[in-house]
Amino acid sequence: MNSLNQDFTGYSPTWCPGCGNWGIGSAIKQALVQLDFSPDQIVAVFGIGCSGNMNDFLNAYGFHALHGRAIPLAIGIKLANHKLPVIVIVGDGDCYGEGGNHLIHAARGNHDITVIVHNNRVYGLTTGQTSPTSAKGFKSKSTPLGLLEASINPLTLVLTQGATFVAQGYAGDVNHLTQIIKAAISHRGFSLVNIIQPCVSFNKINTYQYYQERIYNLDENYITDDLNKALIKASEINQEKFPLGIIYQKQSPTFTEDLIQLKEKTLIEKERFSNTDLLIKEFI
């Protein structure tokens, strides 16, 4: 156990009873405890949405970012102190919609951050508009006659942009999800965990029962370092089949490992960046 014996519990969550966020919040906290972190040893950056409200429910250093901007903030923190574990906790609307461009560039840069996405396929906080992962034809307040666009496949999206760790978990299986999140945080480089999560209040299609009939755990003999096989596996969600587990993982130098300016020290260990008087003088 970590020295402070903390379980990362913050304020009591205000999520709707039965929401998948409860399972995800529990899995994140369990993963951090099992990795032996204390709350002062990690930073969590949150997006906007029901998932982002976890900013108050997780006892750790946290930033509640602008909508869609959690990833660049996390990358900035990582550049300042690349020894610090940085996790990003966002929803599908925030990360695959407003922040979709940042996701692509974080993956191609192999920035060493862990992006955990609560994917409920709807904008829950604003009471049920269609999101980038809603299925074509999905009827919502914003698409009463049915969604005309195809849904984004976040797994194939980041795989084709160079992501070095891609996984999928389910909010209804906390133990399995905990193991996936632990592996993602332990991975050196960019990691994405797409978590299937029912929104019991505003998505009456993608329910627990819906997912129970369509999820399955990846076989223990599944090989995780074959990109072509990973793309085939990730494509299954286009047919509404949801493989759970680590779909792809490979080791590759991270952005900060390749940055020669950070070979010896972190930025915050360099006097130019930690001594504000010196820094200000450069602009006077």
Where do contacts with ligand SF4 occur on this chain (CB under 6 A)? Answer: 15-16, 19, 21, 50, 120, 124-125, 199-202
Between 108 and 139, whose beta carbon lies closer to ligand SF4? Answer: 139
Query: In the complex with ligand SF4, which residue's Cβ is closer, 73 or 199?
Result: 199
Find the shortest distance in angstroms from Cβ 238 to ligand SF4: 23
How many helices (H) and strands (E) would you count in the chain?
11, 10
Give strand pairing partners of 58: 9
Q: Using alpha carbons, select from 73, 86, 112 the residue that is nearest to residue 257.
A: 112
Of 102 and 121, which CB lies nearer to ligand SF4 in the complex structure?
121
Q: What are phi and psi of 273, to 5 degrees?
A: -100, -20
Provide the token pair at 59: 């006892």
Q: How far is the CB of 200 from ligand SF4 (least distance, A)?
A: 5
| Least gap, CB of 51 to ligand SF4 (angstroms) | 8
CB of 73 to ligand SF4, least distance (A): 22
Using CA atoms of 265, 268, 274, 280 in order, give the dihedral in degrees to the nearest 10: 100
Contact 90, 72 (CB under 8 A): no
Amino acid letter, 193: V
Q: Which is nearer to ligand SF4, 120 or 164 (CB)?
A: 120
Count of Cβ atoms closer than 10 Å to residue 271 Cβ: 9
User: Between 62 and 91, whose beta carbon lies closer to ligand SF4?
Assistant: 91
* Minimum CB–partner distance for residue 251 and ligand SF4 (Å): 35
What's the min distance (Å) between Cβ of 186 and ligand SF4?
28
Residue 49: left if φ>0, alpha if ψ -120 to 50, beta else—which one?
A: left
Alpha-carbon gap, residue 122 to 133, rounded angstroms:
8
Q: Residue 180 corresponds to which tokens in the numbers above?
A: 């996936």
In terms of CB distance, is 174 or 218 closer to ligand SF4? 174
